[in-house]
A and B are shown apart, each in its own frame.
Chain A
């Protein structure tokens, strides 16, 4: 019955009621809708380009004024006095070291725990346990970063002071703990995905040779899912480096190279967030914060892209 199916070459008289009218209108706009879909599909490319462009534009005024080599060079000096109008100095070493130190502490916590939890969820847990653990991990992932920062200041900080005798409750360790807890859900879910992506025939073959579950995990799944696991850890690092609010509140925000785990530090993200409120629009100070942002953008993009190359290589191998 060709007259009853809603194709565009059906005569309008064959359709009845408002539904048909709506369908008629929807059919007639196929061409413009397709153009719109195409434009929206490309939007993420435009946006990524725009982000790089506008952050670069914002940083532009101060780029020639920054010392790139020499005693107080950008990457080798810890002196950051961008607010000083007369004699500013731009050195981000302290922030970079702080950023990577906090991320390293976070990963020391998150990677072993996250991988172990992923192995348990994907290989050992029964279906009920699995459901509950997944709900728990989702709750962990849902807590907003500002609430983590708040927890760091009001709950973890005082505890650290009490049990470690630290002078300040907000410090490198506090930031690491909070960031670790925040990164765990991401690492667990990505690692679980890559373990699950290993074909069951691998498990069956190993089991048939007499391996038990743990041997399957250690000797078969880990090597087979290696690239995926590495990528999930890298994405965790990327997340940890780009995190702002939790770190701003948890690390104590002091621009120095830390001597111990209990020293307050600052990070690239926290430096932008804490100084932006004081920066005058159009000033060198503002532009210098955009420069930090550009650096941050390059670091996180490099990490994420490398991780994605890993994942893609992994998928291709799995398909072959």
Chain B
């Protein structure tokens, strides 16, 4: 009937196809949005329940009574130095490894096995990294459990992150940039130093920032390698800003949250949620910084 009145109206088969597509579009869209609702809700819950604890004092006061009172200054500064040390160790090695893989490595079996090793290293569970740290640094090299061993273990864990992101950043620099430089007589190292690295700086920086976020949030590799519930911290002076020696046991925010929520019964809600909130805000803002760097970079791209 309909078809005879308008010869161009869609056939039943065509309508069915369109219906199928609409259903698929809306279902997948609804799922994608629905994934984000629980996240938003959980973040909101944490914020609401942490709210009573949050104040400037909470951040700058020492941990007292095994975390039941006081603030989180010690763990916060511990996380800062731990991350810094990890970065000092892993950033040069990771960036140089990325340079090797992208600029120097020939396309052969050895290079392929390096790539396999990088992906395998990324897949090693974090608790196995802790075992490695204990076995290699503590049992074999007889180092004390403390800041340095923890940072070294974290470095092993975050190495693949920085290698992968450096490699991506370097491979985004067009090949003809290098060729132009070689044609002027520059050597490989001169080309890398003056052309490749400046043009991939933002991408490398993004990787470095992501390593900071990863190292600051990780618990399993440090919990048996020197991170403890409480160490005394100087009340004032310069030592308050640098309370831990390189081989000292230390407090870290992630491990602090782990211990007060798992091992100490009757911990007040607001103290737990307070630490969780600060850790979360810290990590999310570091990640946010990485996103900002990345998007500015995309806008400024010259090729």
Contacts and interface: CB of A to CB of B under 8 A. Distances in A.
Interface stretch (B69-77, B112-120, B233-241, B242-250): B112-120
A45 B160 CA distance: 11
B127 A308 contact: no
A150 B261 contact: yes
A198 interface: no
Interface in A15-51: 26-27, 30, 33-34, 36-38, 40-45, 47-48, 50-51
Contact of A45 (B23, B114, B224): B114
Given A34-B189, A43-B159, A150 B257 contact: yes
Contact of B279 (A47, A116, A144): A144
Interface stretch (B1-9, B37-45, B56-64): B37-45
B184 to A, nearest CB: 6
Contacts of B81: none
A184 B255 CA distance: 25
A24 to B, nearest CB: 11
Given A142-B283, A273-B127, A5 B257 contact: no
A236 B156 CA distance: 21
B134 A58 contact: yes
B132 interface: yes
Contacts of A249: 258, 261-262
Chain B interface size range? 35 or more
Nearest to A155: B45
A296 B128 contact: yes
B127 A272 contact: yes
Given A44-B159, A140-B35, A272-B127, A55 B132 contact: yes
A108 B205 CA distance: 36
Contact of A40 (B25, B93, B122, B193): B93
Contacts of A255: none
Nearest to B22: A214
B173 interface: no
Given A124-B25, A244-B220, A293 B97 contact: no
Given A54-B136, A58-B139, A296-B128, A217 B186 contact: no
A85 to B, nearest CB: 20
Given A121-B32, A146-B258, A155-B45, A41 B21 contact: no
B177 to A, nearest CB: 15
B125 A151 contact: no
A256 to B, nearest CB: 20
A297 B124 contact: yes
Majority DSSP secondary structure for residues of B touching A: helix
B261 A293 contact: no
A6 B194 contact: yes
A242 interface: yes
A266 to B, nearest CB: 13
A117 interface: yes
Contact of B131 (A27, A58, A301): A58
Contacts, number: 288
B97 A7 contact: no
Contacts of A133: 32-33, 36
B121 interface: yes
A120 B29 contact: yes
A296 B135 contact: no
A194 interface: no
Which residue, of A34, A146, A305, has the highest number of chain B Cβ atoms within 10 A? A146
B254 interface: yes
A54 B104 contact: no
Nearest to B94: A40
Interface in A252-274: 269, 272-273
B66 interface: no
Interface string A124-143: 11000100010111111011
A30 B125 contact: no
Contacts of B138: 281
A257 to B, nearest CB: 22
Interface in A126-179: 129, 133, 135-140, 142-147, 149-151, 153-155
A51 B134 CA distance: 11
B119 A308 contact: yes
B54 interface: no
B39 A140 contact: yes
Nearest to B127: A244
Contact of A140 (B20, B36, B130): B36
Contact of A47 (B21, B92, B156): B156
A215 B17 CA distance: 8
B127 A124 contact: no
B13 to A, nearest CB: 10
B272 A304 contact: no
A116 B31 contact: yes
A21 B33 CA distance: 56
A147 B276 contact: yes
Contact of B104 (A27, A37, A124, A188): A37
Given A117-B28, A124-B24, A303-B123, 16 more contacts: A7-B187, A30-B188, A30-B189, A30-B190, A37-B100, A40-B94, A47-B156, A116-B28, A139-B43, A146-B279, A149-B258, A212-B17, A212-B21, A269-B127, A273-B130, A305-B116
Interface of B: 17-18, 20-21, 23-25, 27-29, 31-36, 38-39, 42-43, 45-46, 49, 92-94, 96-97, 99-101, 104-105, 113-114, 116-132, 134-136, 138-140, 156, 159-160, 163, 184-190, 193-194, 213, 216-220, 223-224, 254-255, 257-258, 261-262, 269, 272-273, 276, 279-280, 283-284, 287, 291
Instruction: Give the 3 A-B residue pairs with the shortest CB-CB distance, closest first.
Output: A41-B100, A144-B217, A242-B125
7 contacts: A58-B135, A135-B291, A145-B126, A149-B261, A212-B18, A276-B224, A293-B131
